[in-house]
């Protein structure tokens, strides 16, 4: 009944045992708890887990590939996931947060005069000046670092790398933030240069490695997302990224707006439906023959099977649904789809838990411990 979901696929040079991927997610958990959570998700039958926000430079908010402790953590994570027959992808990430600008908000956050909901737009206001003011020398240093970070990731045991096309890549891509007048700003071709150079650096360092690209798309009429690639500019960006060495695209909505837009609840005015971001996949599909992974409120195996069978997408990525029920893939493959605990997209303990700094969880966990 779900033959396509369960079938293997060549995802840009990496063979996946089925079409289900755990989407990159900031879990907000301790390293020990994160390993256990991802082991459970891997054991549930998905083909690959994407680890979000792996820092490109030696410093960053997440564990660093450049330190013994950070490298050991990623190696242990790879071993744990591989034991469950699951692949692991490192989402290479460079923050576009202005650290100096962040310092002035620390007292307000510590005294709770500034909530996390209020902090996000304050930081987003700093992105444009920061991106626009970076020297060309610093930009080139960052894009070159993608190659070394990818090399370390593969050495640590990852099977694939993904370039985070939001955050700094997305901010350089976006005319909303990028007001540069040099070769990294102005035209769509120039604004694509940062992402292209990042991919090229990886391809130069690792000629054979599969390179996924998180393609963050900005929508207008109505406006959603501030970073990323404007829909009308996709015909410029997609071929340039493919020529640079991208082997697959992970397509979603651009960030730097409300988190409830990129992680939309079921009541969202624009993105409340199942498969809410797949329309962006349709646009990318017309521009490339490379594999495409779709994401966005996917929960229903019948719906997912149809999208895969029709060729609309090649893989389906989930986050909240696999947090709600890590065994979604296994239950589908074993003919137990009726036993799936469906994500209701309430965002109470996943997005809510992340914003409250207690980690990403699910309302079903509360029911289990009640």
CA distance 87 to 93: 19
Cα–Cα distance for residue pair 193/203, rounded to 1 Å = 15
Residue 370: predicted pLDDT: 47
Across the 370 residues of the chain, what is the mean pLDDT of every consecutive 10-residue run?
96 98 94 95 98 92 93 97 98 83 63 66 77 96 98 98 95 96 98 98 98 97 94 98 98 91 95 97 98 98 98 98 98 96 95 86 74
Q: What is the β-pairing status of strands 211-218 and 160-163?
A: parallel
Catalytic residue among 113, 120, 144, 167: 167
Domain ranges of the chain: 3-345
Residue 167 bears catalytic tag: yes
Give the max Cα distance, the chain: 59
Q: Tokens 């979604």 map to which residue?
A: 328
Cα–Cα distance measured from residue 107 to residue 31, given in angstroms and rounded to the nearest whole number? 27
Q: For residue 340, which of 316, 317, 364, 360 has the smallest C-alpha distance?
A: 364
HSE, side-chain direction, 13 A CA sphere, residue 185: 18
Q: Which listed CATH number (3.40.190.10, 3.30.470.20, 3.20.20.70, 3.40.630.30) goes with 3-345?
A: 3.20.20.70
Q: Which two tokens stand for residue 246?
A: 């991208």
Binning the chain into helix, strand and coil, the percentages to the nearest 5 are 45, 15, 40
Task: List, in order, residues 6 or more apart from 185 with CB less than 8 Å away.
Answer: 132, 178, 179, 191
């Amino acid at each position: 009944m779900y033959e396509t979901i369960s079938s293997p696929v060549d995802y840009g040079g990496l063979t996946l045992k089925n079409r289900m991927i755990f989407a990159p997610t900031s879990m907000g958990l301790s390293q020990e708890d994160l390993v256990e959570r991802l082991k459970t998700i891997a054991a549930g039958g998905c083909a690959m887990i994407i680890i979000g926000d792996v820092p490109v430079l030696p410093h960053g908010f997440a564990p660093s590939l450049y330190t013994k402790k950070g490298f050991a953590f990623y190696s242990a994570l790879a071993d744990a996931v591989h034991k469950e027959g699951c692949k692991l992808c490192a989402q290479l990430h460079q923050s576009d947060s202005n650290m100096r600008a962040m310092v002035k908000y620390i007292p307000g956050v510590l005294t709770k005069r500034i909530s996390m909901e209020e902090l996000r737009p304050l930081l987003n206001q700093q992105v444009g000046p920061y991106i626009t003011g970076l020297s060309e020398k610093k930009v080139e240093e960052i894009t070159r670092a993608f190659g070394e970070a990818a090399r370390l990731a593969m050495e640590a045991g990852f099977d694939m790398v993904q370039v985070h096309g939001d955050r700094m890549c997305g901010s350089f891509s976006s005319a909303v933030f990028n007001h540069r007048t040099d070769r990294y700003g102005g035209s769509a071709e120039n604004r694509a240069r940062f992402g292209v150079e990042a991919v090229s650096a990886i391809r130069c360092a690792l000629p054979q490695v599969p390179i996924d690209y998180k393609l963050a798309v900005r929508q207008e009429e109505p406006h959603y997302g501030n970073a990323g690639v404007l829909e009308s500019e996709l015909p410029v960006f997609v071929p340039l990224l493919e020529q640079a060495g991208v082997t697959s695209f992970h397509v979603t909505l651009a960030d730097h707006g409300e988190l409830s837009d990129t992680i939309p609840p079921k009541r969202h005015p624009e993105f409340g439906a199942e498969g809410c971001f797949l329309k962006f996949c349709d646009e990318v599909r017309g521009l490339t023959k490379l594999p495409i992974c779709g994401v966005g409120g996917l929960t229903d195996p019948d719906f997912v099977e149809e999208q895969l069978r029709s060729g609309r997408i090649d893989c389906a990525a989930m986050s909240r649904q696999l947090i709600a029920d890590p065994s979604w893939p296994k239950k589908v493959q074993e003919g137990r789809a009726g036993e799936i605990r469906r994500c209701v997209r309430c965002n109470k303990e996943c997005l809510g838990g992340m914003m409250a700094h207690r980690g990403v969880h699910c309302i079903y966990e509360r029911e289990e411990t009640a």
